[in-house]
Structure 1
Amino acid sequence: MENHERFKKAEFAAIIGIVGNIVLAILKWGIGIYANSRALVADAVHSASDVAGSFAVYVGLKAAKQPPDDDHPYGHGKAELIAAIIVAVLLLLVGVEIGKSSIEAFFHPIEAPKTIAIVAVVVSIIVKEAMFRYKYQLGKQLNSEALIVNAYEHRSDVYSSIAALVGIGSAVIGGKLGIGWLEYADPVAGLFVALLVIHMAWKLGKESIHNTMDHVLHDEDTIELREIIESVPNVLRIDTLHAREHGHYVIIDLKISVDPHITVEEGHHIGKKVKERLLEESNVQNVFVHINPYHPDEV
């Protein structure tokens, strides 16, 4: 898939996330206030954070598609990872705020939420699950870390909405049956939502930071690349192979051994052929090849 088409699809997905989250946040916030549901208001704040997250992904994708330049010879692919980290931090802050608000509710008189809050949560679950499936599949297809992280934002919203549904439903039942303690199920659900959000933020942030720190593909992930290199005539040995991840693509640093008795020009031709073969792979952005003289006793 060409880069232009890739970014066009990714940006469209980010825009869908922005618009969808704005609509859901307004819907849940308005109904949450009207229905007196802390869990639904917390869920609305979660959706609002997803707006910022989707916007961060959109900006990251815009930056990542810029071609290499003098200041960024390896390209701008890590912009997607930076966007993913921003999303994770936003999730963490929102989770802490939701948790704080829910805990405070236990120290004040509480009233059961209105039944309409249940309708809003059910709509949110359906829409968010659809957005997760769309973005996750597209993220895998485009090899976009930012889109995959953003997709899991939607999935965390599904879990939080399910928790809110249980809490709101229990509180509504408690209010109708006159069971006072059951009405506190609403802020309990809000606290559970907060813990889910914090856990998701930690998991996604940790993975994104790991990939940002010049993470290289493991040996089992470079088997195909090694087979391509070894298929080039006159490559006698692969000395080192480091495929560094830069967002949706990789940069390859490679050392190969060739016959020590050939000319410099012949060795250069072999390295050039290796680079050309590797660049035919859709996820390879650039290749740097170093030529070594082959000695059987060296490893």
Structure 2
Amino acid sequence: MINYLVKKFIDDYDDYKNQRVRQAYGTLCSILSIICNIILVIFKITIGLFVHSVAIQADALNNLSDVGSNLASLFGFKLANKHPDNDHPYGHGRYEYIAGMIIAFLILVVGIQSLKESVVKIFVPEKVTFSIVAVIILVVSIFIKLWMYYFNHQIGNKIDSSSLKAAGQDSLNDVVTTFATLVALLLTLITDLPVDGIIGTIVSIIVILAGINVFKDTINPLLGLAPDKALIDSIEHFIMSYEKPLGIHDLMMHDYGPGRMFMTLHVEVDSREDIMKIHEEIDDIERAIQEKYHIHTTIHYDPVDIHNPQLLALKQQVLEIVQHINENYSIHDFRMVPGKNHTNLIFDVLIPANDQISHQILKNMISAQVKQINDEYHCVIEIDHAFV
């Protein structure tokens, strides 16, 4: 059914990398979710009041919070697609992440309120009236939520939308909570224990945990989440498939919302090559990355001497020294500049982002071991932290 709706309401539905098409997908999913959740709220509130079940009412309130979440997602897609302006030259793509935070907040509010009411029902229970109509409504609700999970999850992955993925996960959580509510209703037939309040409490805790997870998923991109390793490996392999690049370093990626990625990196090239030919190929690589990965890319090229045997041998020795200290370290931009009294070895050392070693201590360790090769070598070292 979702494929039929996509083909009916979305033009150029196969071009989901296009921002206009992406917004259409998000709008369709959000509207479908709003309609489904409103139907579920009406039925569950009615049945919950009729049978005096706090668990069913808690489940209905959870669906009501989902309506707010879907509205936030709907407006998030709309605002995210606004054209860049003078104050926001990188666009408004992060509105989608903000929408995700609103979803998380609403889930948490409803979960905490529901938890409070459910705990009260444990100590001051009310008689729950069993109803076969309520059972039918809850079973239908489970199937509706499974369908909502399917289309939100499927399209969320297709267009790489954190808010739709969150909506899909929330729907899957609702399947669990609604099933628990159904169990509570059935248990009222065989026990006088306050199972309604107990299961209502469990449902509320699941809702709260879901809200926390959604919050984490949306706050990470705003804080600056490291890019996916598979994506970086693919980009590096793609760049190295060209003729001129000899190596890559100082790669940084900035996320301003889905479809609004910016990347900078350095590419090492042969210092004896024609600079105009190098420049032409670098331009080709930047354009190709934009077309293939939809990432705005700026490449700085570093000329390196690959024809000096002494330099290459010395670079390998220094690399072995650095990796003996930590196998995850690497070096780049290695140069040798002879002077009157000593020879400068100028290079950068790349260390992992979470490495907390003192830069000065690391420089001293490397310099001391390099001097054992030749006392006339003087190291000029720059320490870089990896951003990928």
Please, what TM-score do these two structures have when normalized by structure 1?
A: 0.90
CA distance in structure 1 between the aligned counterparts of 2:90 and 2:299, rounded to whole angstroms: 15
CA distance in structure 1 between the aligned counterparts of 2:25 and 2:216, rounded to whole angstroms: 26
Q: 1:240 aligns with which of 236, 250, 258?
A: 250
Return the offset for 1:127.
Answer: 0.5
Q: What's the CA shift string for 1:111-134, capped at 9, x where partnerless?
A: 123313222211111101110011
Q: Is 1:33 aligned with 2:49?
A: yes
Q: Is 1:180 aligned with 2:192?
A: yes
CA distance in structure 2 between the aligned counterparts of 1:230 and 1:72, rounded to whole angstroms: 33
Which residue number corresponds to residue 74 of structure 1?
A: 90
Amino acid across the alignment from 1:72: H
CA distance in structure 2 between the aligned counterparts of 1:146 and 1:201, rounded to whole angstroms: 12
CA distance in structure 1 between the aligned counterparts of 2:227 and 2:169, rounded to whole angstroms: 23
How do 1:36-47 and structure 2 match up within 5 A? 36-47=52-63
Q: What's the CA shift string for 1:131-187, capped at 9, x where partnerless?
A: 00111011011111111011111111111101101111112x04xxxx422xx1111
Q: Is 1:275 aligned with 2:286?
A: yes
Q: 1:123 aligns with which of 140, 143, 146?
A: 140
Amino acid across the alignment from 1:196: I
Secondary structure, counterpart of 1:222 in structure 2:
helix
Structure 2 unpaired stretches of 5+: 1-14, 307-314, 316-330, 333-388
How do 1:146-295 and structure 2 match up within 5 A? 146-171=163-188, 173-174=189-190, 179-181=191-193, 184-249=194-259, 250-261=261-272, 265-281=276-292, 283-295=293-305
CA distance in structure 1 between the aligned counterparts of 2:278 and 2:83, rounded to whole angstroms: 29
Decide which structure has greater strand share.
2
CA distance in structure 1 between the aligned counterparts of 2:180 and 2:254, rounded to whole angstroms: 40
Identity of aligned residues (%): 27
Amino acid across the alignment from 1:273: D
Q: Which moved more, 1:66-75 or 1:84-93?
A: 66-75
Return the offset for 1:231.
Answer: 2.2
Q: What's the CA shift string for 1:62-110, capped at 9, x where partnerless?
A: 1222233333333322221221121112111111111000011123242
CA distance in structure 1 between the aligned counterparts of 2:269 and 2:163, rounded to whole angstroms: 40
Return the offset for 1:269.
Answer: 2.5
With over 3 angstroms needed to count, the CA separation of the structure-2 counterparts of 1:107 and 1:237, relative to structure 1, is: same
Return the offset for 1:248.
Answer: 2.4
Structure 1 unpaired stretches of 5+: none
Q: Is the 8 A contact 1:25 1:48 kept in 2?
A: yes
Secondary structure, counterpart of 1:106 in structure 2:
helix
Q: How many residues are paired up?
A: 291
Q: Is the 8 A contact 1:61 1:80 kept in 2?
A: yes
Decide which structure has greater helix share.
1
With over 3 angstroms needed to count, the CA separation of the structure-2 counterparts of 1:268 and 1:68, relative to structure 1, is: farther
Q: Is the 8 A contact 2:80 2:94 kept in 1?
A: yes
Q: Is the 8 A contact 2:55 2:184 kept in 1?
A: yes
With over 3 angstroms needed to count, the CA separation of the structure-2 counterparts of 1:119 and 1:57, relative to structure 1, is: same
Q: Is the 8 A contact 2:289 2:295 kept in 1?
A: no
Which residue number corresponds to residue 367 of structure 2?
A: none
Which of the pair has more CA radius of gyration? 2
Return the offset for 1:228.
Answer: 1.7
CA distance in structure 1 between the aligned counterparts of 2:49 and 2:76, rounded to whole angstroms: 34
